[in-house]
A and B are shown apart, each in its own frame.
Chain A
Amino acid sequence: MATVNVTGTDIKPWSLREGTSFMTRVKDLGPGAFVAATFIGSGDIATGGTAGGAFGFGYWWAYWVTCATAWFCLDVVSRYYIVTGKAGVSMFRSIPKIGWFLALFIGLFGVYYGVGNVTSQFSASAWAVTGMFPSLNYEVAGGLVALLCIVLVWIGNYGIIDKVMSLMLVAIVASFFAAAFATGVNLADAARGLIPAADPSGGFSNNFQAIAGTNINGAAVLLFAYTLMERGNLPPDLKSKARFLSFARSNALLGSFGAVAVSFALLGVINQVIYPYGIIPRKPEDFAILIEPVAGPWAIPVFSLGVLAASLSSALGNGMIGAYVTCEYFLGKPVQSNNIHFRAVYIVNAVIAAAIVLARIDPIFLKTITSMMNASFFGVVGLVLAYWAGSNKLGYFRNGSNIPLWALTVLTIVVAGYVGIFNLGGYFGLKF
């Protein structure tokens, strides 16, 4: 049976000053880029379209709040990994008394991510490919995208996938910012969006749920520990653990607040070309059509490239977390991406997901469902992470008397409680 290695319980939490320089942190942003590329998926486009179409930059504050929560969740996952050397499922299974139930929940969550979430990402990727190559059939595009992901995972080289994910993050940021620059960004509107204000369309609850579901992707949060683990450099002593945490935190910052940067570009576009006319985009093509008159015909392939990079990287990342979690749940120990069972789980799930793409479910609708599912899962994931944040079992890395960490713990409980009650309650017929 596993035991939690209580590291440095006799040392006052956060008393060591083991930081690394800014440049060192920038140079070592691999796991953060991986997580950011997974976080930023087609959901950001769907959610941005709905929230931005209704209220322009009005919900930008919600992106900051939810991304702060996401950063904290990544931080807790890092701390748990540093202390115990373990990843996602263990955090749930080792909760006293209800651990088996939470583990089952997270097992279902893993399978859902491997199939349901990946379906929505394949579907959005297929649309993006047809946007760039209009003569290509939607189903063929979906098949090609699935095949590419399967081949990348089958190779089983984490280093290659890591590089592909970093490249796709660059493509996401570059293409959405290019679209934003072309349409022009109203900085005054962006600044006003930092102050919470009432949505005149009355859609606060739904929009906030969707933003939370997209930005605090419970799967990407758990993925972080596995990406750290893939590097295989868990430090042995407390000082180097503290240094490792500062490296992990920089990566968490990129992983979580990368979504804020991309939301700036997306909401910037929407604020200029969609919001003024009361249009709510309902299909992916709506975005291209609305941007093109203002930004020029080149906007369609450039924007499509952003959608492709966002959805393809999320198909890889979400599918991988599905495989990591499923394997850890059934094997009782985490595996790496070169493990045969990991590859089998990813590939079988991806084949099922690709088959569902043939049903031609609207990618935006599919993504809306996925965001709501993310929010439902986060209701549980967030509360479990808050439990660990406050637990003495994290030793030196527990919250202790650190007020900002406690403030973020409370924020996580509030956000997880709100989105969890709202979404999970819906399955039991509760209306809010």
Chain B
Amino acid sequence: MSLGRVAGKRIRLLLAILLAMSMVFVPTAFAGGIDVKVGDVEATVYAPSVVWQATNGHVVVKMTNTGSKAVSVDGLFKFPEGKEGQFTYGTKKPNDAPKDGAKQTLKDLKPGESKYIAFTYITPKDNAQLGQYTGNVMLTVDGASKTIPWNFDVRTGTVFVAQTSTIVYMIYAVSVVMLVFWFVYFKGFVNKKFNILAGEEQ
């Protein structure tokens, strides 16, 4: 067996080992959350650094109780101060962003247990001012509190037309029109023998 082949096999083996290792190690290497400790609770806040206009953003907080007794955690998401009017919150209307922030409570987080709370559908309006904003989450555990701020950019969003069945019919109609167009093209200029009713003999 040539040296080149042996080297090739080794490279393939090395790549396979790296691939397998990446399954195990890469998740922690790249995780981009903000870690804090509040009382006996270790928390990681996953928040976006970019949100587009009229596009939903979500903030997720993972919490692990490292203490010896069950605890309750209060989470308060505060919209950028004085700029609440630029956002909506949730999916049910009216969905104005609450000035006092959005609350989530996690009750009875047992020792060693990990759970999430999520503030979902935080959406800059389609005319929201572009630029950098600061949001924050305050976590309270047994009287101890910590506020975790972070910055995020609001970028120009792509505003699409309303999703209606008219669009579906428009696409069908365009397809039928194009079939007629190609019929005229081929029948008229390329293959005058074309017969729509002709099958093919076996």
Contacts of A276 in B (CB 8 A): 60, 116, 118
Known: A289-B52, A292-B49, A292-B50; 7 extra A-B contacts, CB below 8 A, are: A1-B200, A4-B202, A96-B199, A115-B174, A285-B55, A295-B31, A332-B191
Among B48, B196, B201, which residue has its beta carbon within 8 angstroms of that of A2?
B201
Q: Which residues 14-56 of A sit at the B interface, judged by CB distance below 8 A?
A: none
| Selected interface stretch from B21-29, B66-74, B140-148 | B21-29
Is A241 an interface residue, CB under 8 A from the partner? no
Given contacts A294-B46, A297-B32, contact A331 B158 (CB under 8 A): no
Would you call A3 and B201 a contact (CB within 8 A)? yes
Selected from A100, A300, A326, A365, the residue in CB contact (under 8 A) with B196 is: A100
Q: Which residue of A lies closest to B31 (CB)?
A: A294
Q: Are B32 and A360 in contact (CB under 8 A)?
A: no
Whether the Cβ atoms of B161 and A352 lie closer than 8 Å is no
Q: A2-B201, A111-B179, A277-B116 are in contact. Are A369 and B168 (CB under 8 A)?
A: yes
Q: Mark B128-156, 1 if CB is under 8 A from A, else 0.
A: 00000000000000000000000000011
A94 touching B178, Cβ below 8 Å: no
User: Contacts of A93 on B, CB cut-off 8 Å?
Assistant: 198-200
From residue B105, how far is it (CB to closest CB) to chain A in Å?
16
- When the two chains form their complex, are residues A282 and B56 in contact, meaning their CB atoms are under 8 A apart? yes
Partner of A103, one of B26, B120, B199, B202: B199
The answer to whether A294 and B32 touch (CB under 8 A), given A90-B200, A182-B27, is yes
Given known contacts A292-B32, A362-B161, A365-B163, A286 and B56 CB-to-CB distance under 8 angstroms: yes
Complex interface residues of chain A between 332 and 377 (CB less than 8 A to chain B): 332, 341, 344-345, 348-349, 352, 356, 359-363, 365-366, 369
- Chain B residue at minimal CB-CB distance from A94: B200
Q: Do A293 and B46 have beta carbons less than 8 Å apart? A: yes
Complex CA distance for A285 and B55, rounded to whole angstroms: 7
The size of the chain A interface, using a CB distance under 8 A, is 71
CB distance from A62 to the nearest CB of B (A): 24
Residues of A within 8 Å of B187, CB to CB, are 330
B50:A300 contact, CB within 8 angstroms: yes
> Do A290 and B175 contact each other (CB < 8 Å), given the known contacts A93-B200, A276-B116, A365-B163?
no
Q: Bound complex: CA of A31 vs CA of B22, how far in Å?
A: 30
Docked-complex contact A94 and B202, CB < 8 angstroms: yes
Interfacial chain A residues near B160, Cβ < 8 Å: 283, 360-363, 365
Which residue of chain A lies nearest to B182 when distances are taken between CB atoms in the complex? A326
Distance between Cα atoms of A277 and B116 in the complex (Å): 9
